[in-house]
Amino acid sequence: MRCGMAPGVPETEKMNRCLWFVTVALALASCASPRVGTEPYGELKQKCDAGSDTACHDYAFFTYDSNPRESELSYRLLCEKQLARACSNLAHRLAERATPDFKQARVLYDRGCEPGDGVACHHLANLYILAQGVEKDDQRALFLLQKSCDMRYAQACFRVSVIIQRGKLTAPNPSRAFEYMEGGCMLNASISCHDLGYMVLEGRGTTMAADRAADLFRLSCDRGLPRVCGSLAYLYQTGTGVAQNHEKHEG
């Protein structure tokens, strides 16, 4: 997941160490670099001052709460240098403002998606689904979600599978839906493993295999998805795919 795209980062805006970033790679050296230990993430800033775009990107993310304006400027400059994650992160900030700028966010998500940022493609798809800054276009959204999944963004794989299963934007294709759901599970999305378990249990798009379904439910339960633990408990209660065990059912 990308630095500025991490979920849960609040929207407090940056202050004004702006000169540090104003002139791109040149300006990154203009502000005195703090010694490691004199401020949080001081080592990242030192690497940034030394010319590492990745460090500048990460420093902008980690200091966003305390200095949002400077971080946004940093993202903008790094985006101009073709760092896809920076384009995506700046777009995310613009889209989440009190007064969102969805049109500019779309441009930036597109710049992040094109060279291969899966999160950018995923968020761009959301704009097309919700008609935010663009005309509603569900087919374009589906294409972008598929592209995001191909770039190994697990949530997109899950969503494509659900869309195919519902058959609203494309013809129902159980085996194809299974492949996307399996892809999401392999990328460690617990919800994908859970739904994959039901697909295997019911033989949707694959061979019915209760024992494999139990393994998938167990995997998701161990990853902390509570409702999956209930599904696993049911299998123990009924002895489906596992030896019947009422203690595990009640546990």
Which residues make Cβ contacts (< 8 Å) with residue 189, sequence separation at least 6?
A: 154, 155, 157, 158
pLDDT the model gives residue 40: 66
Domain ranges of the chain: 170-251
pLDDT the model gives residue 39: 59
Amino acid of residue 199: M
pLDDT the model gives residue 111: 96
- Please state, in angstroms and rounded to a whole number, the distance separating the CA atoms of residues 154 and 204: 20
Amino acid of residue 177: A
> Is the Cβ–Cβ distance between 2 and 115 less than 8 Å?
no
pLDDT the model gives residue 246: 64
Question: Which one-letter DSSP state was computed for residue 131?
Answer: T
pLDDT the model gives residue 236: 87
For residues 173-187, give the mean pLDDT.
96
- Please state, in angstroms and rounded to a whole number, the distance separating the CA atoms of residues 29 and 46: 9
244: how many CB neighbours lie within 10 A of its CB? 12
Residue-wise pLDDT tens digits, 191-234? 999 999 999 999 999 999 999 999 999 999 888 888 788 888 88
The 3-state DSSP class for residue 72 equals helix
Q: Domain 170-251 adopts which CATH fold?
A: 1.25.40
Residue-wise pLDDT tens digits, 83-104? 999 999 999 999 999 999 999 9
- Please state, in angstroms and rounded to a whole number, the distance separating the CA atoms of residues 48 and 46: 5
User: What's the predicted TM-score (pTM) here?
Assistant: 0.76
For residues 117-121, give the mean pLDDT.
97
Q: Tell me: pLDDT of 25 over 50.
A: no
> Is the Cβ–Cβ distance between 4 and 64 less than 8 Å?
yes
